[in-house]
Structure 1
Amino acid sequence: MYNMVLVSSSSSPVMFRVKRCQPELVAPATPTPQEVKLLSDIDDQEALRSHVPNIYIYRHKPSMEGKDPVKVIRDALSRTLVFYYPFAGRLREGHGRKLMVDCTAEGVLFIEADADVTLDQLGEALQPPFPCSKELLYNVPGSDGIVGCPLLLIQVTRFKCGGFTLGIRVNHTMCDGTGFTQFTIALAEMARGAHQPSVLPIWQRELLSARNPPRITCNHREFEKPKDIEEWQTIIGSIEKMIERSFFFGPTEIASLGNLVINNQPGVYTRFELITACLWRCLAKALQLPPEKQVRMGCIVNARARFNPQIPIGYYGNVTAFPVAVSTVEKLCEQPFTYAVELIKKAKAEVTEEYMHSLADFLVINGRPLYTLPWSFISSKLSRIGFRKVDFGWGNAVHAGVSDGNGGQIYGINTFGELHLMDYENSDNRKEGLLLPILLPANAMERFAKELDDMLWNPNQAIKSAKSQTILKSSM
């Protein structure tokens, strides 16, 4: 038994217990090929050598009465691994730390668990940050390494109401968000009785391996190293002082941001571009960054459709890039909002097929450097990936996606700079929109909330205060 305290939406502490069975290894249901498969050079980058946790929440469904989600998902997992058998293997390193999958069929970690409360007792708004996330996805000691460790960790937790949560942690070198969703959809299809996934997996990681000889043909500013890292660390403070909150962007909020753009026309700017530009400005002000400093906003771009021919359907490896928009704090905060939105749009447009080949070559030539974190933020939109539509028979998830405001250490580093926008239905008005869980230093969170509120509902005040907010002493 494990005790923990959850603060619900009513701010009343809820004590509940999660009883976990011993972790077990689930192997493919039938024999699978014993072979070694190389990862691509996009997969095999330092920034992706980490495990990404996600939480799916499902309510009770009367028509599924008598069905045990633990048994349904565990049985489906063993059959799904017949098709996705590399997940049942282990990573190992070759020459130059090159990662490859040894398809040993050892299996993935699976945990059966029970909570002694109902989902409703957790509060009306089932959204990140989840104080109980570590209970709903237990970190099995020794399981979170990169080489020689399980590539998937799954925990299914039953609740007294008949609902359940599914926690899944995946090794990011194996897949990106799109590839991960392809796997979970396959798992859900098998849970609903399918004999094979509707989309069969394709490996073909050589499509995104470095050329021979490698040659860098594009600018990759996402890897430029700033000189004043110590000043950045002073500004953000220590991780112990950080707090989490979530912010909702529905149709009304998106329309408000669109109204701030000069000559905005339908279809010119996406929701992602408007929100990311807004967050970039609000973060720069909330953190009181010196006006002369350059700050970056990276955009996670799915490049599958930017290849000719397109990356084959069924490919579940990493096909993402992280182009960055760069601006001084002064220009970012004092120029019209259109300036920031255009920078985001142009950064996304940099990603082409040639850019992806150049990126793979850059990583190999430079020893797989880590994406630049100081003076940087990075934004991704998980809504198109379709996390919430993964249906194991209990319908769509109430929540699906990252469990906290830092993406679960998506780059192996606990940092507040990662912004993940995911599908969400507002429980107050049933409006569909995007939810942003965010991690910030405590002294900056209040300023961030105010800046965001001004941009959305009091834009004249935001414009008036922009200059005064950015003319700050560099020592702050």
Structure 2
Amino acid sequence: MVSDGACRGDGRRVTTITTVSTVVPALPVQEHRLPLSNLDLVLPPIDVGVFFCYADPPGGSAAAVLKAALAKTLVAYYPLAGEVVANAAGEPELLCSGRGVDVAEASADGAELRDLRLGLPDESVEQLVPKKKAGVMSVQVTKFKCGGVVVGCTFDHRVCDAYSFNMFLVAWAAAASGGPAPPSPYFHRSFVAPRHPPAPHQCTGTLAERLFVPISRAAAPPATAAANRIYRVAAADVAALQSSAGPGRTKLESFTAHLWQLHARAASPRQRSCSMGVVVDGRTRLRRDGAMSAYFGNVLTIPYGAVATDSLRGMALADVAGDVHRWVAEAATGNHFRELVDWVEAQRPEPTVARAYLGRGYRGEDAMACVVSSGLRLPVGEVDFGWGRPAFASYHFPWPGGAGYVMPMPSVRGDGDWVVYVHAAPEVVEVMEAEPTVFRALESSYMFGPGEAPSGRLGI
């Protein structure tokens, strides 16, 4: 199957899809259904993208190597080769059918990796990360004139979180490079099963009820424009934020506090409050013995805070960071995760949604809102398919929620710098780019070393 490729707004073709094939597990899968857990069911039907740039893979077909390794890896990670279907109650669940993963092979029409303007993902990354049309996951392998390759993946967030997909990436890379296979994932839902069938009144007044809401009671998110950017944040700026946030505050809490205040500065007069959420992983909260370290699925909650915009603008960073720490710590407990599992059980089969995603304040008012999800565990150094670590890597998540979405992750340089994916209102991006520190432009030389400046002629 051949596509005409992706086009810029001026109609010029940028990437051309030359081949699409479906890679199935190397061993047959006995077809069966795998229910999504209650923690999977709090996720809306959205796809997440991630991509890796390799400046100098060896000669030969990178796509062939990747597809052969993918077939092997899908034996253990068979849910990624399945489909999401509806059960008798209308809820989503996994059909583990072995249908496979669609892999597109593409060429970048004479461009070089150095031409990529990755800081503007709408012009670049959008063409390198596949649009998933079927199944749970899809892959695109794009080859450049210089010999460089970009590997882009898209996966259904209802099936797994970033932690789980990171496990898959490491296993896939190990299969391609001939390295030792990491521990196999497991899919048993016992750790995230409800403790008992709770009555609705047993879940009222809980933190879970404050953070999530049934769809029928959720106010529609306000219609908002969004801009997508990828920035770099120097290690020194991360350290400075942490120092200003005061003792006992993590780097992520300090960064989130700073980001919250930037959103307050960008808020319009009608946005009288400003909301900030943080995605919290519950694996070590539910089991401190490491028993969930290989669990594949979603184990997330999304606490958030809302503060009057004018108040937030005038607060010291340490006070804002203290507020972030308070509501994150409140949710980062095993009791809350068990409570959330029970609360979802009481709502089923009605879908639920995190309030932090809705772009509203505590009282349902329009708010300047954002959610931060840490990608700092992205294993950039381990996604080596046999031709070295990537020159650059990032998530890509231009999602449709009412809140913005910001995801910091480690730079592949390994020097403490961060790469930050930003999906936010244009006025927030304007404030970010106006400040003299923290959010810095992503230059080609930072990613691929010194050389000619990007031409920009292809918009990528």
TM-score scaled by length of structure 2 = 0.81
Q: Does the 8 Å CA contact 2:370/2:424 hold for their aligned counterparts? A: no
1:288-330 CA distance string (max 9 Å, x none): 3558x34321111111111234443321211111111232223
Which residue of structure 2 aligns with residue 275 of structure 1? 255
What CA distance in whole angstroms lies between the structure 1 residues aligned with 2:298 and 2:427? 36
When structure 1 is superposed on structure 2, of 366-375 and 319-328 the one drifting more is: 366-375
Is 1:418 matched up with 2:398? no
Q: Does the 8 Å CA contact 1:177/1:382 hold for their aligned counterparts? A: yes
Among residues 105, 116, 125, which one is paired with 1:133 in the alignment? Answer: 125
What CA distance in whole angstroms lies between the structure 2 residues aligned with 1:138 and 1:435? 21
Q: Does the 8 Å CA contact 1:223/1:371 hold for their aligned counterparts? A: yes
Secondary structure of 2:417's aligned partner:
strand
Is 1:193 matched up with 2:174? no
Question: How far is the alpha carbon of 1:184 from its aligned partner?
Answer: 0.9
What CA distance in whole angstroms lies between the structure 2 residues aligned with 1:185 and 1:53? 16
Write out aligned runs for 1:3-14 (5 A): 4-5=7-8
Question: How far is the alpha carbon of 1:444 from its aligned partner?
Answer: 4.6
AA partner of residue 172 (structure 2)? L
Which residue of structure 2 aligns with residue 115 of structure 1? 108
Question: How far is the alpha carbon of 1:243 from its aligned partner?
Answer: 3.1
When structure 1 is superposed on structure 2, of 271-280 and 26-35 the one drifting more is: 26-35
Which residue of structure 1 aligns with residue 159 of structure 2? 174
Among residues 334, 341, 345, which one is paired with 1:353 in the alignment? Answer: 334
Secondary structure of 1:356's aligned partner:
helix
What CA distance in whole angstroms lies between the structure 2 residues aligned with 1:313 and 1:228? 33
Quote the sequence identity (%). Answer: 23
AA partner of residue 222 (structure 1)? L
Is 1:439 matched up with 2:423? yes
Secondary structure of 1:165's aligned partner:
strand
Question: How far is the alpha carbon of 1:218 from its aligned partner?
Answer: 3.3
Among residues 382, 390, 393, which one is paired with 1:397 in the alignment? Answer: 390
What CA distance in whole angstroms lies between the structure 1 residues aligned with 2:145 and 2:65? 18
Q: Does the 8 Å CA contact 2:261/2:313 hold for their aligned counterparts? A: yes
The size of the alignment, in residue pairs, is 416
Would the alpha carbon gap of residues 326 and 193 (structure 1) be closer, same or farther in structure 2, given more than 3 Å must change?
same
Would the alpha carbon gap of residues 229 and 414 (structure 1) be closer, same or farther in structure 2, given more than 3 Å must change?
closer
Secondary structure of 1:78's aligned partner:
helix
Would the alpha carbon gap of residues 109 and 447 (structure 1) be closer, same or farther in structure 2, given more than 3 Å must change?
same
AA partner of residue 357 (structure 1)? R
What CA distance in whole angstroms lies between the structure 2 residues aligned with 1:445 and 1:35? 46
Secondary structure of 2:186's aligned partner:
coil
Is 1:296 matched up with 2:275? yes
Q: Which runs of 5+ in 1 are unaligned?
A: 7-12, 144-148, 458-476
Would the alpha carbon gap of residues 425 and 15 (structure 1) be closer, same or farther in structure 2, given more than 3 Å must change?
farther
Among residues 83, 87, 91, which one is paired with 2:84 in the alignment? Answer: 91
Which residue of structure 2 aligns with residue 378 of structure 1? 371
1:104-157 CA distance string (max 9 Å, x none): 11111111122233434414x6445251333223426xx1xxxxx311111111
Secondary structure of 2:241's aligned partner:
helix
Write out aligned runs for 1:196-207 (5 A): 197-207=181-191
What CA distance in whole angstroms lies between the structure 2 residues aligned with 1:300 and 1:175? 14
1:241-299 CA distance string (max 9 Å, x none): x43333332222123323433xx33xx111111110000011111123558x3432111
Q: Does the 8 Å CA contact 1:25/1:110 hold for their aligned counterparts? A: yes
When structure 1 is superposed on structure 2, of 171-180 and 293-302 the one drifting more is: 293-302
AA partner of residue 326 (structure 2)? K
When structure 1 is superposed on structure 2, of 359-368 and 74-83 the one drifting more is: 359-368
What CA distance in whole angstroms lies between the structure 2 residues aligned with 1:112 and 1:336? 50
Question: How far is the alpha carbon of 1:166 from its aligned partner?
Answer: 0.7
What CA distance in whole angstroms lies between the structure 2 residues aligned with 1:14 and 1:3? 9
TM-score scaled by length of structure 1 = 0.79
Which residue of structure 2 aligns with residue 306 of structure 1? 285
Aligned CA RMSD, in angstroms, stands at: 3.0
Among residues 70, 74, 78, which one is paired with 1:81 in the alignment? Answer: 74
What CA distance in whole angstroms lies between the structure 1 residues aligned with 2:403 and 2:387? 34
Which residue of structure 2 aligns with residue 208 of structure 1? 192
AA partner of residue 166 (structure 1)? V
AA partner of residue 300 (structure 1)? V
Secondary structure of 1:173's aligned partner:
coil
Which residue of structure 1 aligns with residue 31 of structure 2? 34
When structure 1 is superposed on structure 2, of 161-170 and 18-27 the one drifting more is: 18-27
What CA distance in whole angstroms lies between the structure 1 residues aligned with 2:6 and 2:163? 35
1:173-224 CA distance string (max 9 Å, x none): 1111010010011111101125x73111111123213332234373133336
